[in-house]
Amino acid sequence: MVTVRRFAELEDNVVLRVLVVAENECFDSNGNFQELLGESLCRRLSNSPNKWIECSDDGSLRKQPCNPGMAYDETRDGFYNPNKPFGSWTLDDDLQWQPPVSRPTPVEGFWFDWDEDNLSWVKKEDIPRTM
């Protein structure tokens, strides 16, 4: 079984695509993993001069899973969804969008919807499902 590593191609800190490469191509002569070797391999395979960085499909590297269209924050070394859900929401340290008011505790039979005009959560009743 071949172990693989994923690398994201970045242009203006936006992920263009993700390549999966054999992990053994990313080790130096001393057997140590080197991200720069993976970056170099991706540049050769893709014929692209863009920056390539290692990423993951489960968020174990660089805060979140990496997919095309995701943004990369160099300062926090992580990927995030650049589509801000609402104008008042901000990115937290884990690069997750957070509302200015915490979501209320779940209540059986209800759900909560964000009201941007009033910067609050609105409790909504579940619609019973018929079979």
User: How far separated are the first and last CA of the chain, in Å rounded?
Assistant: 45
Predicted structure pTM score: 0.79
* Cβ-based neighbours of 51, under 8 Å, separated by 6 or more: 9, 10, 11, 39
Q: Residue 17 belongs to what H/E stretch?
A: strand 14-22
Residue-wise pLDDT tens digits, 5-55: 899 999 999 999 999 888 888 888 898 888 899 899 999 999 999 999 999
Q: Which pair of tokens denotes residue 88? A: 């008042």
Angstrom distances, CA of residue 47 to CA of 42, 52, 67, 95 = 8, 12, 20, 31
pLDDT band of 1, cuts 50, 70, 90: confident
Domain ranges in the chain are 4-84, 99-131
Residue-wise pLDDT tens digits, 59-117: 888 898 899 999 999 999 999 999 999 999 999 999 999 999 999 988 888 888 999 99
Q: Which residue has the higher pLDDT, 69 or 58?
A: 69
Chain centroid, CA 19 distance in Å: 15
